[in-house]
Structure 1
Amino acid sequence: METPAYVLEFEKPLRELTRQLDDLRQRSIETNVDVAGEIRAIERKIEITQRDIYSNLTPWQKVQIARHPKRPYALDYIGVICEDFQEFHGDRQYNDDRAIIGGTAFFNGDAVMIVAQQKGRDPKERILRNFGMPQPEGYRKALRLMRMAEKFRLPVLTFIDTPGAFPGIESEARHVSEAIAVNLREMAMLRTPSISIVVGEGGSGGALGIGVTDRVLIFENSYYSVISPEGCAAILWKDSAAAPKAAEALKVSADHLEKLGVVDEIIPEPLGGAHNDLKQSASALKYILQKHLNDLRALDTDKLVDARYERFRHLGVYEEAGAIRS
């Protein structure tokens, strides 16, 4: 039995038109009646509806697409744009966190180090990957691999896709905040080019723990935020149902983030989301990734580190209060 397609609330008008089209085609086959004109009319209506829906998505609707269960994950992209990915395991201190994967690969013929957050497709893999929520050992593994990349002068490519770091008691007991903080410091000083790509969810410090890089790229329907819309809604409005309002206020979507200077470039997706055409999405990623790698490789190492520091130092807007006069 075929598994029914996953349909988001705002996609239901499109799903209904698709159902009508399928019914019409089936009726044409069964009755041998020419309904080509009616089919073309519905196809045109579907095309117009698609453009209308996906060209006017709200921030909350983009969050929903970023969480789509069919959305490509890091390993999907790595399998298309890289060759000979060799995964490394363990943080050499405690355990191997399967929510973060990493290892060497070849990108357009050049060796790179991959660090990525990975969610699971089915229930078994989701449990194995802890639903993409890393624990302290995951961040320590990531840092181990980044230091290895620095030693061998390999560019670091990180794939961000997490609702946030795991907030459980065990994670806190092993100092997840400290692990993330150390990564922020060490990545800021890493003496090799680095690029991060937000492929789905970019949640809080859990995302930032592998996101302090020379360039930050984001897919068109991904989001990057200090807190999930539901978490923000629960704090500010005492109601997680206010998540759409929170998503708008947080400016989590790619277009807002680019205007604010948080991300450097938006990677376009096929109409309806990256899950509709992995090859097209991966091709766009590969082109933009190579462009930024070429720019970073041309920089002297000291200038590279200085530019990275300045990039993050100038994010946001702040005011300095004047001296208090007695």
Structure 2
Amino acid sequence: MAVFTTVTLDDLTQWIRQFPLGQARALKGIASGIENTNYFLTTERGEYVLTIFENLDFAQLPFYVQLMAHLARRGIPVPDPVANDQGELVVPLQGKPAVIVSKLEGASQMDPQPVHCAEGGRMLARMHLAGRDFPLRQPNLRGLDWWLETAPKVMPFLSAANEALLATEIAYQKAFADTPTYRGLPRGPVHADLFRNNVMFVGDKLTGCFDFYFAGCDTWLFDVAVTVNDWCIDQATGALDAARTEAMLAAYQAERPFTPEEREAWQPMLRAAALRFWLSRLYDFHLPREAEMLTPHDPTHFERILRDRLALQAPELPA
């Protein structure tokens, strides 16, 4: 959510008339994130978020935007896209695809406690179940194929030890993806990036989650692993915190029970989730794009998490 494309209120004067929102009153760039341009947008009708897509094109966007609309209709607290006077959710702005969505209440809880983790696990399970009848299909674009394509691009920047770690883990994940256990995992639309800063709370109550622009169809367990690896760890070491992990997994299990295949795949999937974000952060750090307000994330954080998942057996999924 860095600012790659600069937009002013004057730029929106004519453009926003196609939406039932009245005139734009204020526009403020959002600094966090590294993929798209985002602004907080105040109009005569309320508060919204304007997203301009820097990598995704008009053909790719229906999956993400329609998934949010689908989940919103089923009571999942996600940003609801606003259609223009032609019924379109994705419209051009400065030659790029753009979307306006409702703004969620609350603030991100960057120091989640077990109560917050339980809220997150419960919402994630409900999201997975609500997405079962979503008709569009798109693979996780940051999945195994992307790992295989991207790893050679970052290898020249790595130490010998990290180069070996990356090559070994990708080989392991490639082999695991060919197993009956992996092929038997339940799957469907996933958020794939449900970090703490993509979820909002008012007090201890979860009020919504956002930033679906890494979503795709993948195993539900991968989505759980991504979330656990961010919410339920010691930030200094990457080690899992037992109380938070148990709270998140128990709340998820209460909404959608884990399968035997998922219990068998839990450790490999925690490794896969760590690998995915280590690799993407390596790429963004060593091969950055220019943008206003852009600060790449430190890749060593997910290197630590991956090494921890390799060294220690994770707590089992609840039965």
Normalised TM-score (structure 2): 0.29
When Rg is computed on C-alpha atoms for both structures, the one with the higher figure is: 1
Q: Which has the higher helix share?
A: 1
Normalised TM-score (structure 1): 0.28
The structure with higher relative contact order (CA 8 Å, sep 6+) is: 2
